[in-house]
Structure 1
Amino acid sequence: MAITVSEAAARHVNRYLSKRGKGLGVRLGVKTTGCSGLAYKLEYVDEAEPEDVIFEGHGVKVLVDPKSLAYIDGTELDFVREGLNEGFRFNNPNERDRCGCGESFRV
């Protein structure tokens, strides 16, 4: 089981944590929502929960709860810029389908 972080995502997270002045890393998970059933959730965290599985890449910690890990195992957290838009991208090999609006996915 593994969650990986691209260099671009690590730079972005580290820059934000530095501005924020604190933080352990980011929490990556899934929630039930949208037309396809699941959506990614990503938030900055200051401390780990006892059940968290922790992955590290390029100096960034990614915390995942065990229930979410079943849906996102093997995912790469990336950060991309396309024209004027920028944001995190989730390269998840388990995704079977994504809704038209891009907000949710199915495994």
Structure 2
Amino acid sequence: NIALEIRNNAISASTRDPRFSPIINIELPKLIYSVDILGDVTPATYEELDPQKYGVIVKHHEKRGLLLPRLDGVDTVSEQIEIAARKAGIYDDEDIELFKFEVVRHY
């Protein structure tokens, strides 16, 4: 059920993301909400990626990192891959597999 999935991910993102402090009540009126629906995930090469069009999944064995497209400050494929790899705990010397996907963003 997509409504439950959205609700569960919103709760997780706002309270359990280790990169940020949990959101508190006073912050709620200032937030801008969006929901990204991911399309099909397909294998990709470096040359096929475009951070303005595609999100990326970087994989090394069981480690996976995902980065959405069209993020402020992420202008190159290299930046996109580096951030996704760092999120997954993948180091520079580890071989990676790349996957791409498109997103429909709802505000």
Name the TM tier (shorter chain).
under 0.3
Q: Which has the larger radius of gyration?
A: 2
Q: Which TM-score applies when normalising by structure 2?
A: 0.27
More strand by percentage: 1
More helix by percentage: 2
Q: Which TM-score applies when normalising by structure 1?
A: 0.27
